[in-house]
Amino acid sequence: MREILKQMFLSWFLLTLNFCFASGDKVTIVAAANFKPALDSILAVYKLQNPDENIQVTYGSSGKFYEQITNGAPFDLFFSADMNYPMKLREKKIAISPVKLYAIGRLVIWSRKINPEIDGMKSLSGPDVKKIAIANRATAPYGARAMEAMKFYHIYDEVKSRLVFGENIAQTAQFVVFGAADIGIIALSDALSQPMKIENGKYFVIPGESYKPLEQGCVILKHAKNNPSAAKFFDFISSGIAAGIISNFGYLLPNGK
229 contacts 25 by C-beta, under 8 angstroms: yes
Backbone torsions φ then ψ of 93, nearest 5 degrees = 65, 25
Q: Which residues of the chain have pLDDT under 50?
A: 1-23
Q: What is the pLDDT of residues 106-129, one digit of tens each?
A: 999 999 999 999 999 999 999 999
- Show the beta-strand stretches assigned E in the chain: 26-32, 54-60, 77-79, 100-105, 107-111, 132-135, 163-166, 183-187, 202-205, 214-220
Start-to-end CA span in the chain (Å): 69
* DSSP code for 30: E
Query: What distance in Å separates the CA atoms of residue 179 and residue 82, rounded to the nearest whole number?
Result: 29
pLDDT of residue 25: 80
Q: Where do the domains of the chain lie? A: 2-104+213-248, 107-210
| CATH fold match for the domains 2-104+213-248 and 107-210 | yes
Query: What distance in Å separates the CA atoms of residue 22 and residue 143, rounded to the nearest whole number?
Result: 42
Q: What is the pTM of this model?
A: 0.85
pLDDT of residue 255: 77
pLDDT of residue 257: 57
- Show Cβ contacts of residue 166 under 8 Å, excluding neighbours closer than 6 positions: 133, 134, 135, 136, 140, 143, 172, 173, 174, 175
Q: What is the pLDDT of residues 39-50, one digit of tens each?
A: 999 999 999 999
Q: What is the pLDDT of residues 3-20, one digit of tens each?
A: 433 443 334 333 333 333
Among 54, 47, 81, which Cα is nearest to 230's? 54
10 Å Cβ neighbour count for 71? 7
10 Å Cβ neighbour count for 22? 9
State which fold the 2-104+213-248 domain adopts.
D-Maltodextrin-Binding Protein; domain 2 (3.40.190)
- For 107-210, the fitting CATH number among 3.40.50.300, 3.40.50.2300, 3.40.190.10, 1.20.140.10 is 3.40.190.10
Query: What distance in Å separates the CA atoms of residue 21 and residue 7, rounded to the nearest whole number?
Result: 21
Query: What distance in Å separates the CA atoms of residue 59 and residue 72, rounded to the nearest whole number?
Result: 18
Burial of 45 (0-12, 13-18, 19+ CB in 10 A): middle
